[in-house]
Amino acid sequence: MRDIFVQAMSYSSKQIITLVKKDILLETRQQYTFYGVLLYVASTVFIIYLSTGQPENEIWNALFWIVQLFVAVNAVAKSFLQDSKGRMLYYYTISGALNYILAKLIFNAVLMLLMSLLTLLIFVLLLGNPLVHFFQFLLIGFLGSVGLSFVFTFLAAIAAKAQQQAALMAIMGFPVIVPQLLLLGKISNKAFSDAIQTGWWQMVLLLFCFDILIILLSIILFPFLWRD
User: Residue 180 in contact with residue 148, Cβ under 8 Å?
Assistant: yes
Given candidates 42, 158, 204, 219, which one binds another protein under the rule CB under 8 A?
158
Residue type, 64: F
Residue 33: half-sphere exposure toward Cβ, Cα within 13 Å: 25
Q: Does 172 bind another protein (CB under 8 A)?
A: yes
Judged by CB under 8 A, which stretch of 5-13, 75-83, 136-144, 154-162 contacts another protein?
154-162
217 lies in the site for another protein, by CB under 8 A:
yes
Contact 153, 105 (CB under 8 A): yes
User: At 197, phi and psi to the nearest 5?
Assistant: -110, 130
Q: Is 51 in the site for another protein (CB under 8 A)?
A: no
- The reply on whether position 175 binds another protein by CB under 8 A is yes
212 binds another protein (CB under 8 A): no
Stretch that binds another protein, among 21-29, 61-69, 82-90, 170-178 (CB under 8 A): 170-178
Task: Return the number of the residue (29 or 85) whose C-beta is nearest another protein.
Answer: 85
Q: Which is nearer to another protein, 84 or 164 (CB)?
A: 164
Q: How far is the CB of 182 from another protein (least distance, A)?
A: 7
| Angle, helix 165-188 to helix 57-81, in steps of 10 degrees | 150
24: amino acid identity, one letter: I
Range in contact with another protein (rule: CB under 8 A) among 27-35, 97-105, 121-129, 155-163? 155-163
Q: How far is the CB of 213 from another protein (least distance, A)?
A: 6
Are 143 and 204 in contact by the 8 Å Cβ rule? The answer is yes
Question: What's the rounded Cα separation, in Å, for the pair 91 and 83?
Answer: 10
Q: Which residues bind another protein (CB under 8 A)?
A: 151, 154-155, 158, 161-164, 168, 171-172, 174-176, 178-179, 182-183, 199, 202-203, 206, 209-210, 213-214, 217, 221, 224-225, 227-228
